Amino acid sequence: MLTPATPATLSDLRAALADDTFRDDTAPYFREPRGRYAGTGIVAAPRDTATVARIVAFCHDRRIGIVPYGGGTGLVGGQVMGGDVPPLVVSLERMTAIRAVYPAESVLIAEGGAILTDVQAAAEGAGRMFALSLASQGSARIGGLLSTNAGGVNVLRYGNARAQCLGLEVVRPDGSIWHGLSRLRKDNTGYDLRDLMIGAEGTLGLITAASLRLVPRPAAVGAAMLAVPSPRAALDLLGLAQDRLGDGISAFELMHRQGLDFLREAGLAFRAPFADQPAWMVLIDVGLTAGQSPDAALEDLFAAASDAGLVTDGVIARSGPDRDAMWHIRETIPEGNRRIGSIVSHDIALPLGQVPDFIAQAGARLSRIGDVRINCFGHLGDGNLHYNVFPAQGQSRDAYAHLRGAIKDCVHDLTHAMGGSVSAEHGIGRAKVGDLVRYGDPAKLAMMRAIKTALDPRGIMNPGAVLPDLTDH
Amino acid sequence: MLTPATPATLSDLRAALADDTFRDDTAPYFREPRGRYAGTGIVAAPRDTATVARIVAFCHDRRIGIVPYGGGTGLVGGQVMGGDVPPLVVSLERMTAIRAVYPAESVLIAEGGAILTDVQAAAEGAGRMFALSLASQGSARIGGLLSTNAGGVNVLRYGNARAQCLGLEVVRPDGSIWHGLSRLRKDNTGYDLRDLMIGAEGTLGLITAASLRLVPRPAAVGAAMLAVPSPRAALDLLGLAQDRLGDGISAFELMHRQGLDFLREAGLAFRAPFADQPAWMVLIDVGLTAGQSPDAALEDLFAAASDAGLVTDGVIARSGPDRDAMWHIRETIPEGNRRIGSIVSHDIALPLGQVPDFIAQAGARLSRIGDVRINCFGHLGDGNLHYNVFPAQGQSRDAYAHLRGAIKDCVHDLTHAMGGSVSAEHGIGRAKVGDLVRYGDPAKLAMMRAIKTALDPRGIMNPGAVLPDLTDH
């Protein structure tokens, strides 16, 4: 059983640290974007790794739970812990330094609290690019992005957050520091602890800094919005595009008309790409090297895809603002969804070849559960769909509360049966702990529990996230 | 303390399995390429995962050590265990199936015993490419390549073995099976056990199959051999090439004249690239997309590099055979080294920016230890040098035996001081267990020991590899 974080249990720590280390206004830390979880606790915002280590060592000694806190943008409740035993929330908001940039090595070292857009800007300043990009990049912080192995729109080409990281500095659950800020591209000296910490959602340690891989900036970029007759055609179009442009395809996003209808319904402005709005469309983004023309490449692709019956209409961005307008649609869809109010949202991944069958079968099954609207969109190039279910027009989500579990099970059961994942990029947090137990391979779960117990024997790191709270047993 | 694998201790297992599961001719399994370690034990070669699981469960029950065996090509003794307590060697040589190929998903599922060239051929047959490529690819097997997180010549563009793997099937140390053959590009459901198993060198489980990522084949390939005035110039040339061609640079290999002199001395035929052999040269390989000309791109690069004073001479491959001849030099260098006979070989990685200083300082320091010849070559694009030290001409390596430790420490101490790794791609095996303890971060070592104990509490998996044998204590 853990000790509650209270003014009394933390008084020795408070006395030992700078006066303003603790935050009085704690309310913002106890909310999360979807409003499904409420947190509790006391909040500290240390300024350096040594202080983080001191705080963690103190909590280890007293068996006080710790919730690591980045930008607070997580969608599965990993950053908020409720319940009767309040934790100490350790926010990295004051550790935002870019410690070093090595342009010739394409490496940058950032503290865990650095905001993604600031890291992107530092990379640009060095003539390079930091490839992670996602809708919440203006507030998401590097430590949280790595702890959740964030995805986003460039995974197809550059990989997820894990693939952008060369090394970590981590405060372990006992307060010791792992100095692993490697700038190396290759290092086969022992177990891959870096990738174990990445995606562990703060349950195995607290990421205080990271060594990040930068990539060359594409010489020229371009985008096109193409209307496709079906998800199957979208998948074939992806294959065709990769055959022709290889790694040049940076993003390949599927959207359904429902998403654009929601933008209109929610009063969100956008530039309609097609006069006659198709049911399915794809946003393709390309980043090419010197001597290649994105316009020409996209026109050739469109011609070939037309000949193959894979597209029915298309618009190629003729300028930066054109391209921005296309991306604006894609990136505003989550806000549209929020305003309409989903019954339940899913973040699933499927083997690529299963995506069309999944979309067909899931739609048919849900129609038997109730009168719902589905907004299915996402990173088709990665097999990652955001499959969100909404009330029928004019209905409230409350009217569907009794169907929520059935809808979720329907979508997740089908996903699992098709070899998919019930959390493609959002993680487990607190929202999907039950799903992990339900769908996870037993040997995998046994290994996870063994590792958690081995690395955090007192169970103080983000208790109840990812795995059921071990200290309850 | 482990139980020795003997006909007596294994008799129950032998009786339960097919007659020919065990190998009578065990000698080949007890040698390794560099002749520094000799193994012992009994050898089994099961035909399927269920039998592997049965064997491992038996050994777990009786506390018999297991050495997983792939192609036997490892260079650090991870595949051979000597000592007084012989293990059971489990060879994957009969589990070579390509279980499935999904061309539209760019995924292939291979058993752990599949040989790398066979996997490459299966990918080609599906119109795709498997990006892992290294000198021993005709005998190295997928299970071993993943267990050691092998590198090779394409890491710069495609990453190491880890980056080619989407999922694993693993027999755990207790004989249970983790069914993790995911075909997913994204899956954030829990800890990254895949990457933990990859590079664990068989100490946490035995990889019986893998789901592998394929990539688009480049539309056109090309190569050039360029003479550079210095390692610093080579590094600047890498930056210039990446600025111009981005991901199009597939390989960037540094070579020193010494390597070519060794080929001549060893009587190994090759086509000399330059009439007047420079001290340093770079082999650049490019793979470009439709509409790009490798010849034109390399000519442009050469012109720009000449203007910047980064190259002094150059040859661009005008045909496939030209390109093969260039690669033949690079890939024959290890055989030349073997015939000359090194005093000690090093497989190090450095932060890219440190490579020139390292080469200068290491050479100066070694010259004070003794009269040696240095063949420094490797994957400069990854900061990975094979820094091998040889006797002076006409001298035997035996005459340098007393200097071996001093040379190794000199090279590794300098590498470590510069933020480098003493094993870039070969792993720890048994050869570098002491180096890992000496140079490893204490928090990292503590986590590794905790994980090993948690996942293999009886210490039966590849005892003495990576970490000191825990059952001795």
Confidence of residue B473 (pLDDT cuts 50, 70, 90): very low
Rounded-to-integer distance, Cα A313 and Cα A310, Å: 10
Q: Is A416 on the interface with B (CB under 8 A)?
A: no
CATH number for the segment(s) A218-338:
3.30.70.2190
Nearest CA in chain A to B348: A187
Those residues with Cβ within 8 angstroms of residue A420's Cβ, 6 or more apart along the chain or in another chain = A348, A349, A350, A351, A354, A358, A383, B184
Closest CA to B431 of B343, B339, B337, B345: B345
Confidence of residue B419 (pLDDT cuts 50, 70, 90): very high
The β-bridge partners of A69 are A91
In angstroms, how far is CA B361 from the centroid of its own chain?
A: 26
E strand residue ranges, B97-180? 98-102, 107-111, 128-129, 165-171, 177-180
Fold for domain A341-425?
A: Alpha-Beta Plaits (3.30.70)
The pLDDT tens digits of the residues spanning A102-140 come to 998 999 999 999 999 999 999 999 999 999 999 899 999
Mean pLDDT, range A249-254, rounded to an integer: 94
Report residue A70 as tokens: 């980045």
Q: Is B180 on the interface with A (CB under 8 A)?
A: yes
For chain B, percent of residues with pLDDT exceeding 90: 92
Across chain B, which distance is largest between two alpha carbons, in Å? 73
CATH number for the segment(s) A11-93:
3.30.43.10
Nearest CA in chain A to B290: A244
Q: What is the pLDDT of residue A472?
A: 54
Report residue A337 as tokens: 């969804």
The pLDDT tens digits of the residues spanning B80-112 come to 999 999 999 999 999 999 999 999 899 999 999
Rounded-to-integer distance, Cα B60 and Cα A452, Å: 23
Instruction: Give the DSSP per-residue string, B384-404.
Output: EEEEEEEEPTT--GGGGGGGH
The pLDDT tens digits of the residues spanning A135-185 come to 899 999 999 999 999 998 899 999 999 999 999 999 999 999 999 999 999
CB contact under 8 A, B441 and A246: no
Listed by number, the residues of chain B in 311-350 with a beta carbon closer than 8 Å to a beta carbon of chain A are 349-350
The shortest CB-CB distance from B191 to any of A176, A183, A200 is to: A200
Mean pLDDT, range B134-153, rounded to an integer: 95
pLDDT at residue B471 is higher than 70: no
pLDDT at residue A471 is higher than 70: no
Pick from B148, B182, B189, B213 the residue to mutate for testing the A interface (most A CBs within 10 Å). Answer: B189
Confidence of residue B244 (pLDDT cuts 50, 70, 90): confident
Q: What is the pLDDT of residue A473?
A: 42
pLDDT at residue A412 is higher than 50: yes
Contact (Cβ atoms closer than 8 angstroms) between residue A146 and residue A210: yes
Rounded-to-integer distance, Cα B371 and Cα B390, Å: 9
Q: Is A240 on the interface with B (CB under 8 A)?
A: no
E strand residue ranges, A338-395? 347-349, 372-379, 384-391
Confidence of residue A291 (pLDDT cuts 50, 70, 90): confident
Q: How far is A399 from chain B (nearest CA, A)?
A: 30
Q: What is the pLDDT of residue A414?
A: 98
Q: How far is A25 from chain B (nearest CA, A)?
A: 32
Q: What is the pLDDT of residue A470?
A: 63
Confidence of residue A2 (pLDDT cuts 50, 70, 90): very high
Angle at the Cα of B211 (from B208 to B217), degrees rounded to 5? Answer: 135
**What are the distances in angstroms from CA B439 to CA A166, B290, B350, B416?**
18, 46, 14, 7
Which part of chain B has CATH 3.30.70.2190?
220-417
Those residues with Cβ within 8 angstroms of residue B89's Cβ, 6 or more apart along the chain or in another chain = B26, B29, B39, B41, B42, B43, B44, B66, B67, B69
Mean pLDDT, range B405-409, rounded to an integer: 97
CB contact under 8 A, A185 and B352: yes
Contact (Cβ atoms closer than 8 angstroms) between residue A192 and residue B391: no
For chain A, percent of residues with pLDDT exceeding 70: 99
Q: Is A24 on the interface with B (CB under 8 A)?
A: no
The shortest CB-CB distance from A243 to any of B149, B190, B216 is to: B216
Listed by number, the residues of chain A in 84-113 with a beta carbon closer than 8 Å to a beta carbon of chain B are 102, 104-107
Which part of chain B has CATH 3.30.465.10?
98-216
The pLDDT tens digits of the residues spanning B177-232 come to 999 999 999 999 999 999 999 999 999 999 999 999 999 888 899 999 999 999 99
Q: Is A296 on the interface with B (CB under 8 A)?
A: yes
Q: What is the pLDDT of residue B470?
A: 63
Which part of chain B has CATH 3.30.43.10?
11-93
Mean pLDDT, range B168-172, rounded to an integer: 98
User: Which residue shows structure tokens 């090279």?
Assistant: B411
CATH number for the segment(s) B220-417:
3.30.70.2190
Fold for domain A98-216?
A: 3.30.465
CB contact under 8 A, B187 and A242: no
State the complex-level ipTM.
0.96
Those residues with Cβ within 8 angstroms of residue A61's Cβ, 6 or more apart along the chain or in another chain = none
- Average pLDDT, rounded, for chain B: 95
Strand A66-69, strand A88-91: pairing: parallel
Nearest CA in chain B to A199: B191
How many angstroms separate the first and last alpha carbons of chain A?
8
Q: Is B351 on the interface with A (CB under 8 A)?
A: yes
Rounded-to-integer distance, Cα A378 and Cα A375, Å: 10
Q: Is A297 on the interface with B (CB under 8 A)?
A: yes
